[in-house]
Amino acid sequence: MWLVALQPAREPDDWSRQGVIYLDHSLNAQMHPVPVSAVRLGEGFWSARRKMTLDRSLPTMLDLLEEHGDVDNFRRLSGKKNVPRRGPLYTDSDVYKWIEAAAWAIASSDTPVADRQHLKAKIDSLIADIVAAQEPSGYLNTYYVGDRAHLRFTELVRSHEDYCLGHLIQAAIAYYRATGERSLLDPAIKFADYIVANFGPAKRPFFTGHPELEMALVELYRTTGQTKYLDFVHYLFSGVDRDRLRLTPADTHYTFSGRAFTSRTEFEGHAVRALYAASGATDYFAESGDVSFKRTLDLLWTDLTQRKMYITGGIGSRSNGESFGDPYELPSGQAYAETCASVANVMWNFRMLAITGNSRYADVLERALYNGVNSGMSLSGTLYCYRNPLQTNGEKARSPWYDTTCCPPNVERLFESLPGYFYATSREGVFVNLFHNSDLDWHLENGTGLKLVQSTNYPWSGDIRLTVIPEHPSQFTIFLRWPAWAASADVQINGTKVEGDFHPGDFIPLTRTWQSNDSIAVSFPIQTVPMQANPRVSDLYGHLALMRGPLVYALEQIDQNGASLNDVFIRAASSGLVEVRKELLGGVTVIHYPGFVAEKPLADESLYESAAVGLARAKRPITLTFIPYYAWANRETSPMEVWVPATRSPDGANPNTNVHAQDRRPEAR
């Protein structure tokens, strides 16, 4: 039963207890994420990515923000620099996102002390420049100043004033939760108070042209206990002022804002805006318990996952407007799948997971994180994808900088906050959401100290071991996630097999009186699984993609021994051979899979021909080599594809049959 409660103002809690989203007082949250500082990631998949983010991405991105004038845009307002404003009107948000990323790095137990000190000095310098640019009223934006000041909040569809404020608040909260310092939080509150005081019912009308502020204001409410921020979020989602704002149907379609959120039944318009709106609505539901929001969120989640999401967790199929297409409109080569949209998919499913405790949201979160988000930053940490297609002809895919550079710092802030996604607590016990070598040093909700030590080589292996170390023998439940991709699970406690009515895509509840150094061993057998799309995805009919555990795989032409991707077919109903390549792409497991290549290039064939001729086309066997999708475009430019045309094997198997192919392992090179 959902509880409806707009809570009265309360004294703020200890900043060090607060996670990426702080749900300890949220009556409609089934789990409470732990702080970033409570989790230390050991050596493994994500620690390598986060180290690259810390060592390379954050320093080079700050240099680029300086080089392109994004920071000077603040300094010019205080008179510190006499330079013209540079960049698009939303550049302030990129500085704020960088600060948020650096703040989570400071909060992380994995970050060396010297790096924390260095990042803190950088943030403090940026904060000084930002605060110096703030007007006495609280208004803070580097674009709508001077001869543009009269346009403030008159161009809400495009102005991004609300969006920049949202990122300012989120950066300020992250820095507060990392350090306890209010040097950016108080200026953010001052600007938020300016909005709440001047806009809303019976005041000037307002709406979010780029939803983001909703999430930020709910988190500000959680941080300060001030209900006025939650009330304003309710106003934003009500859509009551769309007539006063003279919004057109095209405006409310594209921005996914400006009309009552609870009237929505499907995702439409700009993909990032839509998922940010859904994230904010989930936050609002967690505090209000308004069941009409939950009904809408469920409709939207089904629409996304059943009709509009790429196999990589990417979203947004159209480059025009960076938007959703029609149901099942998921072209591979034309896929937009903006990196920010995948980040938004992770953020939304994290919130849906928290309010429901339902593992299916963790499955989508994991898929988007490992594939759609992870592909957005190069293995070197200095090149980025704005869009993430599932097929290319070998054109340049990555760049160190974009005029709209929203995606790089967005990936950075997610990666640096990632330890806060792995574990959560509830009154019953602790949830294990994601898998990685890690130490949790936290406590149960009754105050009993608890350490969990997780050992695994995930995602390359599905074997996981947990050592449970409570402060004293205690009865509680460990909720262990069984990923939906795993067909089976073997769970043992202290060497004894656990039996129960457990299913893929659920949490396995392990309840007992836990003693110090009790161990949990779980094995999720990882198989190479050929995947097919719903036949209504017409572009993909007759094609197969490979998944192995949570990872989507792709072909790059440079790995196919001279064969052109335009001429290759995957052999249906076959089995893959996996190989560990420690020297390749930072260390990956590749899949060798049977296929065929046309003897005559297909470009030399007729545009149309009889089915009999096509079926009799001469092909020779070839072994196709697949790499993880996230690692594409990290070597020389090369054509790439995720979905490969399937052809019948000699036994006549149907190429659209979804079969599980058990891995066979050769020796690692």
Amino acid found at 418: L
| Number of Cα atoms under 13 Å in the Cβ half of residue 304 | 31
- Which pLDDT belongs to residue 656? 41
Last residue of a domain, one of 523, 543, 566: 523
Instruction: Tell whether the model's pLDDT for residue 4 goes beyond 80.
Output: no
**Arithmetic mean of pLDDT, 323-337:** 97
Under 8 Å between Cβ of 272 and 322:
yes
- Which pLDDT belongs to residue 7? 53
Q: How confident is the model at residue 649 (pLDDT cuts 50, 70, 90)?
A: low
Residue 8 maps to a domain: no
**Claim to verify: residue 372 and residue 492 sit in the same structural domain:** no
- Which pLDDT belongs to residue 350? 98
What letters, b where the CB count within 10 A reaches 16 and e where it falls short, cover 287-324? Answer: bbbbeebbebbeebbebbbebbbbbbbbbbbbeeebbb
Which residues are 621's β-sheet partners? 596
**Claim to verify: residue 91 and residue 154 sit in the same structural domain:** yes
Residue 68 maps to a domain: yes
Residue-wise pLDDT for 220-253, tens only, equals 999 999 999 999 999 999 999 999 999 999 999 9
**Claim to verify: residue 33 and residue 97 sit in the same structural domain:** yes
- Which pLDDT belongs to residue 521? 98
CA–CA gap between residue 566 and residue 645 (Å, rounded):
10
**Claim to verify: residue 471 and residue 411 sit in the same structural domain:** no
Number of domains observed in the structure of the chain: 3
- Which pLDDT belongs to residue 573? 81
**Claim to verify: residue 382 and residue 318 sit in the same structural domain:** yes
**Claim to verify: residue 369 and residue 468 sit in the same structural domain:** no
Last residue of a domain, one of 404, 421, 438: 421
Cis geometry, peptide bond prior to residue 459 (ω within 30 degrees of 0):
yes
Residue 653 maps to a domain: no
Last residue of a domain, one of 367, 392, 421: 421
Under 8 Å between Cβ of 562 and 525:
no
**Claim to verify: residue 505 and residue 541 sit in the same structural domain:** no
**Claim to verify: residue 558 and residue 471 sit in the same structural domain:** no
Residue 5 maps to a domain: no
The rounded percent of the chain whose pLDDT value lies above 70 is 95
Residue 4 maps to a domain: no
- For the chain, what percentages of helix, strand and coil (3-state, to nearest 5) are there? 40, 20, 45
The C-alpha angle 576, 577, 578, rounded to 5 degrees, equals: 115
| Number of Cα atoms under 13 Å in the Cβ half of residue 270 | 20
Residue-wise pLDDT for 407-463, tens only, equals 999 999 999 999 999 999 999 999 999 999 999 999 999 999 999 999 999 999 999
Amino acid found at 386: Y
Which residues are 646's β-sheet partners? 570
Residue-wise pLDDT for 272-315, tens only, equals 999 999 999 999 999 999 999 999 999 999 999 999 999 999 99
- Which pLDDT belongs to residue 633? 97
Instruction: Tell whether the model's pLDDT for residue 340 goes beyond 80.
Output: yes
What is the phi/psi pair of residue 526, to 5°? -95, 125
Instruction: Tell whether the model's pLDDT for residue 652 goes beyond 70.
Output: no
Closest CA to 498 of 518, 483, 516: 518
Residue 554 maps to a domain: yes
**Angle between helix 185-198 and helix 213-224 axes, rounded to 10 deg:** 110
604 exposure class (CB count in 10 Å sphere: 0-12, 13-18, 19+):
exposed
**Claim to verify: residue 308 and residue 338 sit in the same structural domain:** yes
**Arithmetic mean of pLDDT, 522-540:** 96
Q: How confident is the model at residue 574 (pLDDT cuts 50, 70, 90)?
A: confident
DSSP state at residue 373: I
Q: Measured between alpha carbons, how far apart are the two ends of the chain, in Å?
A: 55
- Which pLDDT belongs to residue 12? 75
Amino acid found at 643: W
The C-alpha angle 60, 457, 627, rounded to 5 degrees, equals: 65
Instruction: Find the domain containing 492 and state its range.
Output: 426-523
Residue-wise pLDDT for 131-178, tens only, equals 999 999 999 999 999 999 999 999 999 999 999 999 999 999 999 999
Instruction: Tell whether the model's pLDDT for residue 5 goes beyond 70.
Output: no
Instruction: Tell whether the model's pLDDT for residue 105 goes beyond 60.
Output: yes
**Claim to verify: residue 505 and residue 538 sit in the same structural domain:** no
Quote the mean pLDDT of the chain.
Answer: 94
Instruction: Tell whether the model's pLDDT for residue 192 goes beyond 60.
Output: yes
Residue 656 maps to a domain: no
Q: How confident is the model at residue 615 (pLDDT cuts 50, 70, 90)?
A: confident
- Which pLDDT belongs to residue 111? 98
Q: Where would I find the H helices in 133-184?
A: 161-179
Q: How confident is the model at residue 665 (pLDDT cuts 50, 70, 90)?
A: very low
CA–CA gap between residue 274 and residue 310 (Å, rounded):
16
CATH number of the domain that residue 34 is part of: 1.50.10.20
Q: Tokens 């930072």 sit at which residue?
A: 586
**Residues 6 or more apart whose Cβ sits within 8 Å of residue 79:** none
Q: Mind giving me the DSSP string for 100-112?
A: HHHHHHHH-TTS-
Q: How confident is the model at residue 614 (pLDDT cuts 50, 70, 90)?
A: confident
**Claim to verify: residue 179 and residue 289 sit in the same structural domain:** yes
- Which pLDDT belongs to residue 664? 39
Residue 85 maps to a domain: yes
- Which pLDDT belongs to residue 667? 32
Rg, C-alpha atoms of the chain: 25
CATH number of the domain that residue 442 is part of: 2.60.40
Residue-wise pLDDT for 10-44, tens only, equals 667 899 999 999 999 999 999 999 999 999 999 99
**Claim to verify: residue 532 and residue 448 sit in the same structural domain:** no
Amino acid found at 18: Q
CA–CA gap between residue 53 and residue 27 (Å, rounded):
35
DSSP state at residue 583: T
